[in-house]
Amino acid sequence: MSFLKKIKQKLTGQSDSVTSKFKSGLTKTRNSVASKVNNLVKRYRKVDEEFFEELEDILIGADVGVTTVMDIVERLKDEARTRNIKDTEALREVIAEVLADMLTKSEEETSLKMNENGLTVYLFVGVNGVGKTTTIGKLANRFKNEGKKVLLAAGDTFRAGAIEQLEIWGERAGVDVIKHQEGSDPAAVVFDAVAAAKSRGVDILICDTAGRLQNKVNLMKELEKVKRVISRELPDAPHEVLLALDATTGQNALSQAKTFGEATDVTGIVLTKLDGTAKGGIVFAIRNELDLPVKLVTLGEGIDDIQPFDADAFVYGLFGDMLEDAGDSEAEEV
């Protein structure tokens, strides 16, 4: 069975809206990557060094990252040798296959961890301006619609307007926000939020945090303190430390991930504004170079525009049209 058929089969049974959201949300990246790869395949008849050099340029241009691009191309060369692929047409599906394989090791890895026996706590980190607070509001709304009882903690007490912004999203989602005054100790806010979540029988507590990077030492100490407070009250928590990254910043998102990885034990990535960039290739660099799974993506500005990350839907959103073209070509030849 071809890779195209396998990926289609896996996506069958999923909501059509999920697949279509990934496809529409990845339009800019698809135009930047898949269409150029498709044109490259059409221009080159045989798989040779020049073909791979141009492929490298295309992937680097989509912010896949030099290190990751080199890894991808080496794997493609190995596959071409192993499968004795000489024709570029036959390499189309292999390109998508290698990229999909790179994105996820298991479905469990990309799923959000949940505490089945009580309160689940998610700690959100990330620099200012990446859409962290907005994403928290969207995620709270998603959980609320799934029938969960949700509470938010306004732990970003540093940025002017951050508390009010979270309150606005809390109102939209119909969930309460635990807050203190601006400038308060974030750990104290989170402590009160955990206590409130316990007393109210809340299912999920989502904690916002400050995102300043001007003084990394202070940020690290602050995040460590917040985590310590949560763990003291709930030994297995936080169940996820989610790093929000703005996809439109490309390679800069990778450097942010490295910084926050030093500050706290990040367990997964939330990639925001994926619909607004041609640099969606950063997903591959994050997965390959940082060994961190992308767990959630935002694909629009609406409150419902947040999706659990699905490697198959992502790759199909990028290369589906190209692979369909390949399938049509094979059918015509037959």
* 21 annotated as a binding-site residue: no
Q: Are 229 and 190 in contact (CB under 8 A)?
A: yes
* 61 annotated as a binding-site residue: no
* 131 annotated as a binding-site residue: yes
* 212 annotated as a binding-site residue: yes
* 13 annotated as a binding-site residue: no
* 219 annotated as a binding-site residue: no
* 127 annotated as a binding-site residue: yes
* 209 annotated as a binding-site residue: yes
* 320 annotated as a binding-site residue: no
Q: Please, where are the H alpha helices in the chain?
A: 3-11, 16-25, 27-32, 34-43, 49-61, 66-82, 88-103, 107-110, 132-145, 162-173, 186-200, 216-233, 251-263, 282-290, 311-333
* 201 annotated as a binding-site residue: no
Q: How far is CA 54 from CA 28, 73, 323, in A?
A: 20, 11, 19
CB burial of residue 198 (10 Å; 0-12, 13-18, 19+): middle
* 130 annotated as a binding-site residue: yes
Residues 6+ apart with CB under 8 A from 10: 312
* 208 annotated as a binding-site residue: yes
Q: Are 303 and 262 in contact (CB under 8 A)?
A: no
* 211 annotated as a binding-site residue: yes
* 244 annotated as a binding-site residue: no
* 183 annotated as a binding-site residue: no
- Measured from the Cβ of residue 277, the count of other Cβ atoms closer than 10 Å reads 22
User: Binding site for GTP: residue ranges?
Assistant: 126-133, 208-212, 272-275
User: Binding site: residue ranges?
Assistant: 126-133, 208-212, 272-275
